[in-house]
Structure 1
Amino acid sequence: MKINEEQLNHLLNQMTLDEKIAQCIQLAPNFYEGSKEKGDVTGPMAKLGISEELVQNSGSLIGATGAKEMIRIQETYLKNNRLKIPLLFMADIVHGCKTIFPIPLAIGCSWDLELAEKSAEIAALEASVSGIHVTFAPMVDLVRDPRWGRVMESTGEDPYLNSKFAKAFVRGFQGSDLEEDPYRVAACVKHFAGYGAVEGGREYNTVDMSERQLREYYLPAYKAAIDEGAQMLMSSFNTVNGIPATGNRKLLRDLLRDEWGFEGVVISDWGSVMELIPHGVAADEADAAYKAISAGIDIEMMSSAYVKNLSSLVENKMVDEALIDEAVLRILRLKSKLGLFEHPYRGADEELEKRIMMSEYYRHVSHELAVKSIVLLQNKNGILPLQKGKKIAIIGPFAKSHDLLGPWSWLGSKEDAISLYDGLKEKAGAHSLLYAEGCGIDTGTEEQLKDAIKITNKADIILLALGESSEMSGEAASRADIRLPQVQMDLMKLLKRADKPMIAVLFNGRPLDLRDVVEVTNAILEAWFPGTEGGAAIADLLFGDKNPSAKLSMSFPYSVGQIPVYYNHFRTGRPQNALPKVEKYVSKYLDIPNDPLFPFGFGLSYTTFSYGNARLSDQTMNVGTSLTISVDVTNDGEVPGEEIVQLYIQDVVGEVVRPVKELKDFKKVLLYPGETKSISFTITEEKLRYHHSDLQYKSDHGAFIAYIGPNSRDVQALSFQLIQ
């Protein structure tokens, strides 16, 4: 029988203050009896001041997995817990649990919301049978700086596209009935807020922006995830309007709770409550605890400010116990929504865990999503797809590497990943392949180079497998130089001397500076970290069994000096092309172009699509009506292909400066050779709204331009008016 609100309040009233505080902490597995680490609280973590009694009343655990261990920990915990309140088990299930899907940035390039949702559903199923109740995902931070390693965890630079993916991931993780479906997990959206804008792209660094900028670009995806029903939210490490998010009352109470109506649980990021001290906004641990609980942090992750100080803060009337009661009640409600009071082991099932992990169907979905996420950036003279029967020299540190899962692939095993070499061997046969490593990720030898040169002399085509190791992106992996490591560049330029067709397949977690790669190679396939089925998916694309359809969800810079570079930038008073006779005194660089190397929304196909003249249903609209913009798209090539048709809008005259264009809608269309389809979008007044200087979210009457095309750069423009 479901525990109701009255029973939850009754349970809360039975708890001592120390028991309440314990519910507000999250600990690692080594504190708990029944874990693989044997519940040792006397080791390195003892400095947190965690007693055995507190462990037996703590609210949640981070980082354990496996049905057997989870059941054992929960069973032991409940035997010793006075009120029989079950533990919550949480983990970072970001882009797969055991079956690993492409990194989220790659998934963003698929523009495929259904497959994204399916990937989260599969991740939730594998996680739940392993005993996990909550995933720290989706990460919906808007990202504009590829130097930041965690861009791989986001779906890109656009607030509209990120919001769509945020909703899809939440639906996939949580389903429609979290309590009744034991094979779903609660979603924890992160990192609130603005973490993607860290200065210099440096991890854990400062964020400083206006509230209008925050609301217009960085907040929409968080709001979308919450509107979709995300049960938890994680605060970010960074500052927001000068105050670290973990101690930011305006952010967590005024905006999140009061304005948005969020009723779920808020958790700090790892140790971030104590980090209020080095941030310089808390004098000591007691002050950090005071500011975090006052701001609205319900659970402190892996630090001890609450444990050591909340009790005395209440006794000294610095903190009202009602604040702690609110936090605990939210935690108890989440446990109730997950059905843990009735079913404390929830979906944990050893036998099912053994049966379903990495099932054939799950791998099939991973394969399909990888195919849809890999972007064809260059294809000079139609060198791709490859023709079978040709001798291929496959060279580079990723040729036989299984490091294809990328960061945050927690339970994924590299050994399970299909390498590029194995994928090609399955497709074309070992007799077609010649292999040499050429170099390592960032080191090389003369012997490796000699081996590479030797096989290129016997080959028809050179296939380079280059990129970053998984440790070079993700958390705490910021890079100032986002080119390929020099040893890989040297290898590529050396092999160019063979004067044979050269194709680069890139494995990486961020947009890179690819100028040299563009100049030297005939084709570039951006594979990202493609997941468990990566090598097989790439082979399908290289040989044309699948046709690339992915489009970039984050711009690739021409040079690191442009960063941040993004498509929806503001207009300036001296735009580069506005005054053709003026060569210098306009907004431009002296040494590089303004535009990115590859723009947002860009991606090639093995076929070509032509766009007819776009049409508007009318030249004017008012608040109560809408317009339709249409365009005929034709497949002019010889193979079927999927095109992502994109709609952008520019507000010509705003109350504040408006971007050059903003994505407002998109549609995917499959076209067979010679086939034409008419693609239509509806433009409503709602699509024209933005945050004004007083933060009101509304539209302006006046002129607008609608842009329609295959990417953010190559578009047709049509003008219309919004009138009274």
Structure 2
Amino acid sequence: MSAITNITSTAQVSIEKRVAELISQMGLDEKIGQMSQLQGGGNSIPHDLAESLRASRVGSILNEVNVDIINEMQRICVEESRLGIPLLIGRDVIHGFKTIFPIPLGQAASWDPDIIEAGARVSANEAASAGVNWTFAPMIDITRDPRWGRIAESLGEDPYLCGVLGTAMVKGFQSNDLSKPGSIAACAKHFAGYGAAEGGRDYNTANIPENEMRNVHLRPFKRVAEAGVASFMSAFCDLNGVPATGNTWLMDDLLRKEWGYQGMVVSDWESIVEMSVHGFTHDDEEAAYEAVMAGIDMEMASSSYHDHLEDLVAQDKVSIEQIDTMVARVLKLKFELGLFEKPYTDPDEHVALLDKSALKAAKQAAVMSCVLLKNERHVLPLSHADLGSVAVIGPLADDGYEQLGTWVFDGEAQHSVTCKQAIEEMIGRTVDINYVKALDTTRSHNDDGFEEAVAAANKSDAVIVVVGEESFMSGEAHSRADIDLPGHQAELIKAVASAGKPVVVVIMAGRPLTIGNILDHADAVLYAWHPGTMGGPAIADLLFGIESPSGKLPVTFPKMVGQVPIFYSHKNTGRPATDHTCFNMEEVEPRASQTSLGMTSFHLDAGYKPLFPFGFGLTYGDIKYVKITTSHRSISLGETMDIAADVVNTGSRAAEEIVQLYVRDLVGNVTRPVKELRGFKRVSLKPGERKRISFSLHTDELAFYNRKMEHVTEPGRFHVWIGGSSDAELWADFEIHS
């Protein structure tokens, strides 16, 4: 009989009481065991691990997805350990389990919380069928450096958008009840500042003033904490001189005391012992002490808690009360997941992997994630009725593995449908498909296949070139200093463009790439990110007009890497650049005086604007914004006002547009960004249709942290814009008075 029967389990008794009752029966070694997460993933359970499970020395297993092994591990814990405490089973389910969705940055380009929630729901159901009950997502680090490999896992550069979409992902993973079949615990990561790593190099130092932390980097974390995310993960980075994993201000003063967060906090992989590598602690024992003082409830992968916490308690450096508080948070999550009532997984009780509904959801997510960056002379959508032949060219046109993207552990390329396959399926019966890979990989500099590619373009009515990055080129530890298209892909595009046929470039990548050098050689550019299992059918539907693109960029695209970091919500500076003050150095006469150089904030060789702004994305319609109004010219603190504008589709095709609301506080106790996103709505427009779109804005939504770190809305003047990107020009103003 399981020892779990000794624990009160009537529905009337609160989880808190059950946790306290269980802790009262535990020895110190068992408590420390609950704070330890070990690596799994073998074909069997090693003897030493089985003994640790029996001795209650393990609270969680990481990276085991064999349901039979997981069930056996749970059986050992529940039936052979003294107190019968089940395991948390953790896995990186980042953008899918078996059914792979677009990378999170791609999903963010949908600007659609419902799509993101649906994807997380599918992922949770599939992962739960394997025995996984905890995922390490969403990643809601604010990311403004495309060199950083983990930008692919992020939801972009804007705190408001990240917060909205991150909350949707949490809801999808957890549903409204963690104990419900198919629900898994989510984890908000990486807390905090990890996305601001110096130089875009992963794991690097982040130096962020507290005011910027609060006004930018912490905002999405606070939002998901308020939404009930089950756990947080500490960041790898040194934040302002103190590694996040041992940062008491961040983890305890702010997260616990100020925000009142009661969920569990886990370290990142070995980030506790890595504090010694940072030079913050002398050894693993001191690292364990600092992590406990900060409030890290569970150690991932390394063993400093197992090795040193008993000694730290014996030395009176760590109290039993501290340990009990941390263990209580671990046990609380296990009770919330219903693991004490149902520790085992029956795959037959879950939906089938890769079923029709999952593939449909993945395809729809991929459709809505694609961003149309260029569409000269409305070359898209292509009409297969007008085509006798199409060239499909490029290293990613028929590569089911690479289209899955980074950080995919359980998805398999054999289930992917590629662009070539989807185009053949759609039009191959009536249109000749001339396929040439041209380059072996995206990094290849071998041009031997170019002649065949140009020949295919010459004998085709239109050319589709699928290029980008291989999946390994983004993700953890995979940062890039050069973010151009790798290899000779730009040269390939130029070569096939010489045939004089319409050229459509599809780009699959894990980050914004600097693609200015190919724009003049492409009639249309569709940015598909890494689109996942159903990327091919989604792209084919968009190219041939079955679907209409509606994605918007969740990050700014630089012209060149030297502009980085570049983002829309920058400060104005005392000398802001304008079109009148900005010029290119090639325009300057030789031996020009220094005072002729404009004296404003821009680059001589790149100007001050990006290649594509945050929020940008074309549709197959022609969208215009007119007639902005505000319900009041002046409101008091605590009041709400409405801002509205007409959105018109002057084109000949139906379109979906994401209407965006931006605000600027003209004068603040601390300087404020030139624009900040404060709302967005999706609108469907028939050809010629006009709709009035309205936003409500409460003065509390304009609050920020001032010099005293007070969260306040200040009276004063504000500008407000409604448009299709952060470059929106249609504006009005209003005033808030006290």
Provide the TM-score with structure 2 as the length reference: 0.94
Deviation track 1:523-574 (CA, whole Å, cap 9, x = no partner) reads 1000001111100000000001111011101011011000000000001101
Of 631, 649, 655, 1:641 maps to 655
User: What SS does the corresponding residue of 1:214 show, helix, strand or coil?
Assistant: helix
Alpha-carbon distance in 2 for matches of 1:656, 1:319 = 40
Residue matched to 1:239: 238
Is 1:655 aligned to 2:669, yes or no?
Answer: yes
1:36 and 2:24 matched: no
How has the CA–CA distance of structure 1 residues 216 and 470 changed in structure 2, closer, same or farther, with 3 Å as cutoff?
A: same
> Structure 1 pair 674/10, CA: closer, same or farther in 2 (3 Å)?
same
Look up the SS of the partner of 1:142 in the other structure.
Answer: coil
Match of 1:378 among 374, 377, 381: 374
CA distance, structure 2, for counterparts of residue 568 and residue 182 of structure 1: 41
Structure 1 Cα separation of the partners of residues 376 and 580 of structure 2: 34
Q: Which amino acid aligns with 1:363?
A: L
Partner SS state of residue 462, structure 1: strand
SS of corresponding position for 1:122: helix
Spell out the pairing of 1:219-234 with structure 2 (5 A cutoff).
Answer: 219-234=218-233
Counterparts of 2:433 and 2:480, CA distance in 1: 34
Q: Is the 1:438–1:444 Cα contact (8 Å) retained in structure 2?
A: no
1:53/1:97 CA distance change after superposition, 3 Å: closer
Q: 1:699 to 1:26 in 2, by over 3 A?
A: same
Aligned residue number for residue 610 of structure 2 = 596
- The equivalent residue for 2:425 is 426
> How is 1:137-286 mapped onto 2 (pairs within 5 angstroms)?
137-179=137-179, 181-286=180-285
In the TM superposition, residue 700 of structure 1 has moved relative to its aligned partner by 1.6
Map Cα deviations across residues 645-668 of structure 1 (whole Å, 9 max, x no partner). Answer: 111011111111111110011111
Structure 2 counterpart of 1:314: 313
1:76 Cα deviation after fit:
2.8
Query: Hey, what does 2:132 align to over in structure 1?
Result: 132
Aligned to 1:12: 23
1:557-576 pair list within 5 angstroms: 557-576=558-577
The answer on whether the counterparts of 2:636 and 2:736 sit within 8 Å (CA) in structure 1 is yes
Letter in 1 for 2:29: D
Give the Cα separation in 1 of the matches to 2:276 and 2:165. Answer: 35
Distance of 1:198 and 1:269 partners within structure 2: 16
* Equivalent in 355, 358, 364 of residue 359 of structure 1: 355
Matches of 1:317 and 1:54 in 2, distance apart?
A: 28
Preserved contact between residue 567 and residue 599 of structure 1 (Cα < 8 Å): yes
CA contact (8 A) 2:54 2:82 kept: no
Q: Mind listing any 5+ residue stretches in structure 1 that lack a counterpart?
A: 43-49
User: How many residues are matched?
Assistant: 709
Cα distance between partner residues in 1 of 2:518 and 2:376: 13
For the 8 Å contact 1:56–1:80, the answer to whether it is kept is no
CA shift digits 1:289-329 (9 cap, x unpaired): 11111110110000011111111111111211221111111
Q: What do the CA deviations read for 1:220-259 (whole angstroms, capped 9, x no partner)?
A: 1111111110111000001223110100111111100001
Change (3 A) 1:449 1:128: same
Identity level (%): 41
| C-alpha separation in 1, matches of 2:349 and 2:528 | 32
What is the aligned partner in structure 2 of residue 46 from structure 1?
Answer: none
Q: Structure 1's 584 and 459: CA in aligned 2 closer, same or farther, altered over 3 A?
A: same
Contact 1:211 1:241 (8 Å CA) reproduced:
no
Q: Secondary structure of 2:477's match?
A: coil
CA contact (8 A) 1:401 1:419 kept: yes
Flag the 1:400–1:571 CA change in 2: closer, same or farther, 3 A: same
Task: Work out the CA distance in 2 between the residues paired with 1:717 and 1:631.
Answer: 9
**SS of aligned partner of 1:612:** strand
Residue-by-residue CA offset, 1:468-507 (whole Å, 9 max, x unaligned): 0110001111000000013212222222222222111000
The match for 2:364 is 368
Is the 1:29–1:37 Cα contact (8 Å) retained in structure 2?
Answer: no
Displacement of 1:54 in angstroms is 7.8
Structure 2: which 5+ residue stretches go unaligned? Answer: 1-9, 583-595
Partner residue of 1:679 out of 693, 696, 705? 693
**In the alignment, which residue of structure 2 is the partner of 1:45?**
none
Q: Is the 8 A contact 2:263 2:333 kept in 1?
A: yes
1:714, 1:690 → 2: CA distance? Answer: 23
Cα distance in 2 for residues equivalent to 1:446 and 1:579:
43
1:349 maps to which of 335, 346, 349: 346
**1:17 to partner: Cα distance:** 1.1
- Greater alpha carbon shift after TM alignment, 702-711 vs 492-501: 492-501
The secondary structure found in structure 2 opposite 1:317 is coil
TM-score between the two structures when normalised by the length of structure 1: 0.95
Partners of 2:55 and 2:137 lie apart in 1 by 26
> Residue 55 of structure 1: CA displacement?
6.5
Q: Which amino acid aligns with 1:380?
A: E
* Structure 1 residue 40, shift from structure 2 partner: 5.6
- Partners in 1 of 2:166 and 2:442 — Cα distance? 33
CA contact (8 A) 2:446 2:488 kept: no
Partner of 2:728: 714
**Which whole-Å deviations, capped at 9, do the CAs of 1:263-309 have from their partners, x for residues lacking one?**
11100000000000011110111101111111101100000111111
Q: Which residue of 2 aligns with 1:47?
A: none
Aligned amino acid, residue 343 of structure 1: K
- 2:95–2:101 Cα contact (<8 Å) kept: yes
State how far apart, in whole Å, the 1-side matches of 2:650 and 2:346 are: 52
CA RMSD after TM alignment:
1.7
Matches for 1:274-673 after TM superposition, within 5 Å: 274-345=273-344, 348-352=345-349, 356-388=352-384, 389-402=387-400, 403-429=402-428, 431-439=431-439, 440-577=441-578, 580=581, 583-673=597-687
CA distance in 2, matches of 1:621, 1:297: 45
